[in-house]
Amino acid sequence: MPYTVLDLFAGGGGFSTGFQMSRRENETFEIITAVELNKDACDTLRAHLGTEKVIEGDITDPQIKERVVAACREVDVIIGGPPCQTYSLAGPSRSGKPEMREALRTDPRNTLFRHFFDLVDRIRPRVVVFENVEGITSKQLNASSEDELSHKDQVAIEVICDELESLGYSTRLEGDFTRRYQILNAVNYNVPQQRKRVIIIANRLDRVNPMVNEKNTDRPITLKEVLGNLPVTLPKISSNNMDKLKNMDVILDNLDRCLNSVVSSVKMLKESYSNQIEVQSDEFNNILAYLNDESFKLKDSKRSRTDKLLFLEGLLKGYNELLQIYTKRYFSDEVQQFQLSRAHNFRDVVIFSMMRPGTSSAQFINKESQAYDSFLDELYPYDRTKHIDTYVKHSWDKPSNTILSHMEKDGLKFIHPDQPRTFTPYEAALIQSFPLDYQFCGGRNAQYRQIGNAVPPLLARSIGESILRLLERIE
């Protein structure tokens, strides 16, 4: 019999997927219920777990809560990470006092914490796994170590540990009884991504809780290993309201240079992906030949600003038509929303093409940086007093930065290492370590949100294997 699991705040199913992947000898987990408020995420869960296992609704609703309790009375493990709305608990002089636990339960901004603990108290699983963002520790790490938090900054998480212990759960960790939580970086668990998460493992049988063992101790998994063999995806380039695009005058005054940078970027893909059939196809060659021909027409021609704008609009229209033919040939209608790039404006595509892999706009606008670029500095469109690292171009030989749900708004911090675009939902899901065939429901933005909010399944699998080790000791 597998151990049973209730997944609260289940999102797109990263935590659940990892626990289902966990194995220890003959022991496994079964997700018997997943609770989630967002409809698109629930559709994703239903597709992977089955309709009968998903409860769509708000756990603050008494009826939803009763359904959860009724379905999970004998559950072995509760997993989940309530979204944290406030860090107001971070007052070091009050750490661990009963009034702080009461504040955690009663502060309206922490409603989800209160209901999470209420369900733990009513269901009484043998083990609880609490996951949250590193910010739950008041955002600051101890300057002397990446793995330890200073006393000043660990208060919120300590209050949560106190609350679990007040419910009868031990949060002690094996090997170090002074610590009650772990900070795990997904990059140490075969996830090609720097992503730190705070994990509390607690059990109600007064045992010490296991440390989650790291998997890859030699080196991190790189983006090249995960994304390097995917079909080449070129972005649609939008021409809507192009005349009003910020710094468009810089583009038009240097149109030849800008267009050549994009052409060169596409041309390099012919060499970098010489073994992939889609890049050697007539459809791809037609795109490259068209861009070459149009850029040649621009050389040595004297055009007014209006003429240049009309020329560029016509060029982009022709490019997008050829791109549609290429896309239809190599990407089925069913996967296009998941595997294709969002549209980008021409200015951003120029910036993507000119940036060096492994650099950011904070570097190319900084005259003291080796990656400084005077043209990109001039082209940068954002307020420098608020945003300097808006653009981040990743590198093949390193893991990704933390995948964020903000990707639903724009993906400028997630520029592909050599294709002039940002990561697709499919690429973001692979970076999060979801299985190759894992499908997310909803539109592209809904998919980015689910992926960005997820616990990486390979990290969750390692946590699950630690829980199996604990349950084995208990048995």
DSSP 256-305: HHHHHHHHHHHHHHHHHTTT-TTTTSHHHHHHHHHHHHHHHHHTT----H
Pick the closest to residue 287 from 265, 303, 255, 308 (CA basis): 265
Pick the closest to residue 59 from 84, 30, 34 (CA basis): 34
Long-range interactions of 141-148: CB distance < 8 A, separation 24+: 147/183
Measured CA to CA in angstroms, residue 277 lies from 244, 330, 437 at distances of 39, 10, 22
Compute φ and ψ for 166, nearest 5 degrees: -65, -20
Question: How far is the C-alpha of 167 from the C-alpha of 165, rounded, in Å?
Answer: 5
Residue 377, Cβ neighbours under 10 Å: how many? 14
Question: How far is the C-alpha of 363 from the C-alpha of 369, rounded, in Å?
Answer: 6
All domains in the chain, ordered by first residue: 3-221+456-474 (3.40.50.150), 233-352 (no CATH)
Regions in the chain scoring below 50 on pLDDT:
86-96, 109, 139-154
**3-state secondary structure labels for all residues of 339-371:** HCCCCEEHHHHHHHHHCCCCCEHHHHCCCCCCC
What digits encode the pLDDT tens for the residues 348-402? 999 999 999 999 999 999 999 999 999 999 999 999 988 899 999 999 999 999 9
> What is the helix (H) or strand (E) element at residue 32, kind and residue range?
strand 29-36
pLDDT, residue 139, reads 37
Structure tokens at 405: 């749900």
Pick the closest to residue 415 from 336, 346, 359, 335 (CA basis): 359
pLDDT, residue 196, reads 93
pLDDT, residue 154, reads 45
pLDDT, residue 135, reads 75
Compute φ and ψ for 59, nearest 5 degrees: -70, -10
* Residues whose CB is less than 8 angstroms from the CB of residue 445 and which lie 6 or more positions away in sequence, other chains included: 408, 409
Measured CA to CA in angstroms, residue 234 lies from 77, 212, 265, 327, 418 at distances of 44, 40, 10, 9, 11
pLDDT, residue 373, reads 97
Question: How far is the C-alpha of 196 from the C-alpha of 132, rounded, in Å?
Answer: 9
Structure tokens at 293: 């021909």
Question: How far is the C-alpha of 449 from the C-alpha of 428, rounded, in Å?
Answer: 11
**Sign, Cα dihedral of 468, 470, 473, 475:** negative
Q: Are 49 and 36 in contact (CB under 8 A)?
A: no
What digits encode the pLDDT tens for the residues 38-81? 999 999 999 999 999 999 999 999 999 999 999 999 999 999 98
Question: How far is the C-alpha of 152 from the C-alpha of 69, rounded, in Å?
Answer: 37
Instruction: Please state whether the predicted TM-score (pTM) of the whole model is above 0.95.
Output: no
pLDDT, residue 327, reads 95
Question: How far is the C-alpha of 363 from the C-alpha of 377, rounded, in Å?
Answer: 9
Residue 57, Cβ neighbours under 10 Å: how many? 16
Q: Are 313 and 239 in contact (CB under 8 A)?
A: yes
pLDDT, residue 104, reads 56
79 SS3 class = strand
Pick the closest to residue 47 from 458, 462, 442, 332 (CA basis): 442
Question: How far is the C-alpha of 427 from the C-alpha of 424, rounded, in Å?
Answer: 5
For 304-316, b/e burial (b = at least 16 CB within 10 A) is eeeebbebbeebb
For 93-103, b/e burial (b = at least 16 CB within 10 A) is eebeeeebbeb
Number of helical H runs and strand E runs in the chain: 18, 9
pLDDT, residue 143, reads 34
Q: For the purposes of burial, counting CB atoms within 10 Å of the CB of 41, is it exposed (0-12), middle (13-18) or buried (19 or more)?
A: buried
pLDDT, residue 148, reads 47
| Cα distance between the two ends of the chain | 13
Question: How far is the C-alpha of 273 from the C-alpha of 267, rounded, in Å?
Answer: 10
pLDDT, residue 93, reads 35
